[in-house]
A and B are shown apart, each in its own frame.
Chain A
Amino acid sequence: MSNLAPTKREVPVNSLASRTGLAAWFRPYVTSTVGSKMLVAVTGLMLTGFVLAHMIGNLKIFAGRTALNDYAAFLKSLGPLLWVARIGLLVVFALHIYLALKLKKRSLEARPINYAYQNTMIASVSSRTMLWTGLAILAFTIFHLAHFTFGWVGPVEANGKMVGNHEPNDAEMPTRHDVYGMVIHGFRQPVVSILYIVAQMLLLMHLGHGIPSTFQSLGLNTPRTQRMIRAVGWLLALVIVAGNIGIVVGVWFDFVKP
């Protein structure tokens, strides 16, 4: 240990007990390094659950136009419930990004002068690029919403005429939106489909470190389970990404008939 006489510490030990109330009880989870990581982990797990459900739902595209468009119409018919889910998801997404950036800022400040000789012993590439893969996924998510949810990215051809990406244009039920046709049109554009595949690769890297990492941050890891959790995390990430890429490739090779 250091040969210098330690100076008096400045944090009151009983700051925990001196405050009461739910807000004070929860405060350390927003302010401390350990607590913030737990919130990043919990929100990360929620987002993982979302992308998994999103992927499984979208696999309906392989069941044909009616199946996918029925599914889309069902989600829209949820009405207020859909908005609760959307706002909830937005809050979770925002909290995940905000806390991660806050922690990153903190750790950059924790080492003002970096090493001249940079070296890494065991830290994986995916763990060292979480910030960049995360920000890229955020940018992709914004594009993805603009593309398919808001329909801002280009008009599409449907029923032989050019219409807005998001207008009712289902050939079978003219009053509803043809999600199936929109997806096929989207992924027939090489630039767009390659962008989606690249984004999925980044998602694989992000989740590959992220999913196992949540178990460590929430204290659910032990030396005995560490390797298994790591393998299961990567497998789950791979399943999500493979399912999503499968849709793009399915459109390319006409497994999804126009």
Chain B
Amino acid sequence: MNLTLNVWRQKDRNAAGRMETYKASHISPDMSFLEMLDVVNEDLIKTGKEPIAFDHDCREGICGMCSLMINGMAHGPERATATCQLHMRKFRDGDEITIEPFRARAFPVLRDLVTDRGALDRIVQAGGFVGVNTGGAPDGNEIPIPRERQETAMDAAACIGCGACVAACKNASAMLYVSAKVGHLVNLPQGQPERQQRVRAMVAQHDHEGFGHCTNQYECQAACPKEISVGFIAQLNREYLHSSFGFAEREDSSTGVG
């Protein structure tokens, strides 16, 4: 396969970036998208040019490190697939492909296609701790959890924190991410005592990081490599309302979370 790539190049955080065009030749349809970029980079290095910087780690779709906006779609055209698991057979010979970094004020570009997604980590940090017993390993099935509940929590916990939801959102909102993190704890007995503070703190941190608001267009769900449901955003909204009604409002409830 021979392809034409339009790639965003940017020297560092403060430099102005621009789109540049490259030829990708002799690409196997069995290569992953990242392997295709590896081949392009080999050629760039051979000709003495700076290779294209992009994020990657496990390359098996479970770490959330890879990103890329491919033809305006986060992680490319294939549903429920991270860029590293996207194969070149999904493209046609001679295609022109535009590759850009995930765009958001909260995701500053560090170099080329590499962005700083630390804002997502800080949202989780803001959520604080979950009250569990430490010490010896607990007995299996010590805390009864209905299977449906457990599966729902697991669906939310499938989030790998890649930030595709933010990249795909017309408003650069991280609401699907926040809802997945809130959702996987609120559906389990272990997450209950800190339930009300957690949702407030995480939404406050989300807003503080400069993400946009949710307009219920569900682009995030379509882009998510783990197919996190927007049903969790509705649950997040319910939790936010719930946090207004209860004992967490007590003046002396400064539990020192975080």
Q: Do A and B come from one complex?
A: yes
* Bound CA span A25–B241, Å: 11
* Bound CA span A82–B8, Å: 59
* Highest count of chain B CB atoms <10 Å: which of A28, A34, A114, A130: A34
**Set of chain B residues within 8 Å of A37, measured between Cβ atoms:** 213-214, 237
**Set of chain A residues within 8 Å of B230, measured between Cβ atoms:** 216, 226
**Set of chain A residues within 8 Å of B215, measured between Cβ atoms:** 107, 127, 130, 213
Chain A, 199-215, CB within 8 A of any chain B CB: 209, 212-213, 215
- Interface presence of B2 (CB below 8 A): no
Chain A residue total in the interface (Cβ 8 A)? 62
* Bound CA span A103–B161, Å: 24
- Interface presence of B238 (CB below 8 A): yes
**Set of chain B residues within 8 Å of A226, measured between Cβ atoms:** 230-231
Q: A17-B254, A111-B212, A216-B234 are in contact. Are A1 and B161 (CB under 8 A)?
A: yes
Would you call the interface of chain A mostly helix, strand, loop, or mixed? Answer: loop
Is B120 within 8 A of A1, CB to CB? Answer: yes
How many contacts between A and B, using CB within 8 angstroms?
207
- Against B, the Cβ 8 Å flags (1 = close, 0 = not) of A216-234 are 1111111100100000000
* Bound CA span A93–B112, Å: 45
Chain A, 103-139, CB within 8 A of any chain B CB: 103, 106-107, 109-124, 127-128, 130
The segment from B41-49, B83-91, B101-109 found at the interface with A is B101-109
Q: A33-B214, A119-B72 are in contact. Are A111 and B105 (CB under 8 A)?
A: yes
- Interface presence of B153 (CB below 8 A): no
Is A122 within 8 A of B103, CB to CB? Answer: no
Chain B, 218-258, CB within 8 A of any chain A CB: 218-219, 221-223, 229-231, 233-241, 243-244, 248-251, 253-258
The segment from B31-39, B130-138, B142-150, B202-210 found at the interface with A is B202-210
Give the top 5 A-B pairs by smallest Cβ distance, nearest first: A119-B72, A219-B238, A107-B212, A107-B171, A219-B237
Known: A17-B253, A107-B170. 16 other contacts (CB 8 A): A4-B118, A9-B125, A16-B249, A28-B200, A33-B211, A34-B214, A38-B237, A107-B172, A110-B106, A111-B103, A115-B72, A123-B219, A127-B215, A213-B216, A216-B216, A226-B230
